[in-house]
Amino acid sequence: MSETLIRNAAHVLTMDDGACEYADTDILVRDGVIAEIGSNLATVGEIVEARGCLVTPGLVNTHHHLYQTLTRAVPGGQDALLFGWLKTLYPIWARFGPAEMRVSALTGLAELALSGCTLTSDHLYLFPNGARLDDTIDAAREIGLRFHPTRGAMSIGESAGGLPPDGLVEEERAILDDCIRVIDAFHDPKQGAMVRVGVAPCSPFSVSRELMRDAAILARDKGVMLHTHLAENDEDIAYSLSQFGCRPGQYAEDLGWTGADVWHAHCVKLDGQEIDLFTKTGTGVAHCPCSNCRLGSGIAPVRAMRDAGVKVGLGVDGSASNDAGSLVAEARQAMLLQRVAQGADAMSAREALRIATRGGAEVLGRDECGQIAPGYRADLAIWDVSGIESAGSWDPAALLLAGPTCVRDLFVEGRQIVRDGEIATLDLPVVIEEQTRMARALAEAS
Name the residues that contact Zn ion, by CB under 5 A.
Answer: 317
Shortest CB 124 distance to Zn ion, Å = 11
261 or 317: CB nearest Zn ion = 317
Q: Which distant-in-sequence residues (6+ apart) come within 8 Å of 229 by Cβ? A: 202, 203, 236, 264, 265, 266
The single-letter DSSP state of residue 58 is P
* Comparison of 155 and 203: residue with beta carbon closer to Zn ion: 203
| Spatial CB neighbours of 67, under 8 Å, sequence gap ≥ 6 | 93, 96, 100, 101, 104, 105, 124, 126, 136, 318
Radius of gyration of the chain (CA): 21
Q: How far is the CB of 239 from Zn ion (least distance, A)?
A: 16
d(CA 231, CA 269): 5
User: Which residue has its beta carbon closest to Zn ion?
Assistant: 317
- Kindly report the three-state secondary structure assignment for every residue of 7-40: EEEEEEECCCCCCCEEEEEEEEEECCEEEEEECC
* Distance in Å, CB of 200 to Zn ion, minimum: 10
The amino acid occupying position 281 is T
Three-state DSSP state, 230? strand
Q: Cβ closer to Zn ion: 111 or 317?
A: 317
The CB-of-262 to Zn ion minimum distance in angstroms stands at 16
Provide the pairing of β-strand 225-230 with 380-384. Answer: unpaired
Closest separation between CB of residue 321 and Zn ion, Å?
Answer: 7
Is residue 407 within 8 A of residue 418, CB to CB? The reply is yes
If the CB atoms of residues 48 and 89 are measured against Zn ion, the closer one turns out to be: 89
**Phi and psi (nearest 5°) for 284?**
-95, 160
Least Å distance, CB 245 to Zn ion, is 25
* Closer by beta carbon to Zn ion, 317 or else 362: 317
The helix (H) or strand (E) run that includes residue 334 is helix 327-342
Between residues 100 and 317, which has the closer beta carbon with respect to Zn ion?
Answer: 317
Which of 315, 403 has the CB closer to Zn ion?
Answer: 315
Other residues' Cβ atoms within 10 Å of the Cβ of residue 280:
12
Least Å distance, CB 202 to Zn ion, is 8
441 CB-near residues (< 8 Å, 6+ apart): none
Closest CB to Zn ion among residues 295, 337 = 295
User: Closest distance between Zn ion and the C-beta of residue 322, in Å?
Assistant: 10
